């Protein structure tokens, strides 16, 4: 009887440990400087489309969620150092990144666009960008696109944040910038002086941009990947993702 009691107690202890593990907060990093997807409010809290989506995904996973800001340059190293458990920062799934980290299935697809001064004759084509200086955020698929397609004809200038990129574009220190379509659209809509414009067509290259934007994870965290994948499928299928996106952008981001 004593052995049976001890066995039951052990099972209860294991069960309670499992429940505790399931309730551990998922720590999610975002950049906090890439509106409308993620940005930092005056009170210091992060907000945006990806923050709302992160909370929705954690609700589906039945896990508490903590979203923290992390500079873009250190966002993958921070994940690998276990400062947090996941990344939701408009990070395209690419073969190069997949060598270092794992990814969920895509949770959104966002095209890129070139932005140029309103009086510019740049139309986004390689010919129109010949001899020009093009700005992009550092260590992004946008900078890789410029290197791949314009490396021999244009000069790439990189920036730590999207806001610094926009500031140099408006100041005339670069001839054009490339960024996500939603960010580009926000720039143009928010420019009271009408000094900049979207140019050309959506920029597409699956070799550079990959299949879409996913949650960055440590490669060994297979259970967390499965949980995110299931939650992403759920918010896509029932329209939650579309409703969240509609608060921030005027086009579909659904994978």
Cβ 29 vs Cβ 89: under 8 Å: yes
pLDDT, the chain, mean: 91
Of 239, 249, 227, 216, whose CA–CA distance to 57 is shortest?
Answer: 227
pLDDT for 24 equals: 83
Q: Indicate which CATH number applies to the domain containing 217.
A: 3.40.190.10
Co-location of 57 and 90 in the same domain:
yes
Co-location of 187 and 220 in the same domain:
no
Q: What's the pLDDT tens digit per position in 189-205?
A: 999 999 999 999 999 89
Co-location of 127 and 191 in the same domain:
yes
Q: How many domains does the chain have?
A: 2
> What is the extent of the structural domain holding 46?
26-109+211-246
CA atoms of 75 and 92, how far apart (whole Å): 13
Q: What's the pLDDT tens digit per position in 20-78?
A: 445 689 999 999 999 999 999 999 999 999 999 999 999 999 999 999 999 999 999 99
Model pTM greater than 0.85?
no
Q: Please check whether residue 197 lies inside any domain of the structure.
A: yes
Give residues with Cβ within 8 angstroms of 247, minimum separation 6: 49, 52
pLDDT for 22 equals: 53
When pLDDT is averaged across residues 92-115 and rounded to a whole number, the result is 95
């Amino acid at each position: 009887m004593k052995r049976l009691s001890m066995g039951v107690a052990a099972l209860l202890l294991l069960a309670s440990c499992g429940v505790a593990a399931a309730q551990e907060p998922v720590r999610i990093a975002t950049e906090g400087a890439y509106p409308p997807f993620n940005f930092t409010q005056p009170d210091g809290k992060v907000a945006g489309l990806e923050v709302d989506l992160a909370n929705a995904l954690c609700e589906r996973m039945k896990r508490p969620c903590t979203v923290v800001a992390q500079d873009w340059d250190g966002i993958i190293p921070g994940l690998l150092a276990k400062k947090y458990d996941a990344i939701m920062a408009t990070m395209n799934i690419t073969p190069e990144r997949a060598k270092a980290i794992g990814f969920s299935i895509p949770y959104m697809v966002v095209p890129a666009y070139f932005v140029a001064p309103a009086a510019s004759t740049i139309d986004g084509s390689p010919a129109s960008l010949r001899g020009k200086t093009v700005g992009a955020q550092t260590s992004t698929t946008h900078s890789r696109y410029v290197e791949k397609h314009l490396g021999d004809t244009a000069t790439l200038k990189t920036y730590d944040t999207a806001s610094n990129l926009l500031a140099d574009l408006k100041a005339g220190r670069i001839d054009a910038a490339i960024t996500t379509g939603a960010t580009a659209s926000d720039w143009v809509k928010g420019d009271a002086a009408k000094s900049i414009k979207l140019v050309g067509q959506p920029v597409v290259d699956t070799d550079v941009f990959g299949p879409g934007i996913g949650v960055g994870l440590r490669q060994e965290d297979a259970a967390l990947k499965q949980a995110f994948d299931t939650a992403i499928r759920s918010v896509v299928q029932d329209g939650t993702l579309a409703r969240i996106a509609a608060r921030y952008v005027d086009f579909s981001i659904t994978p």
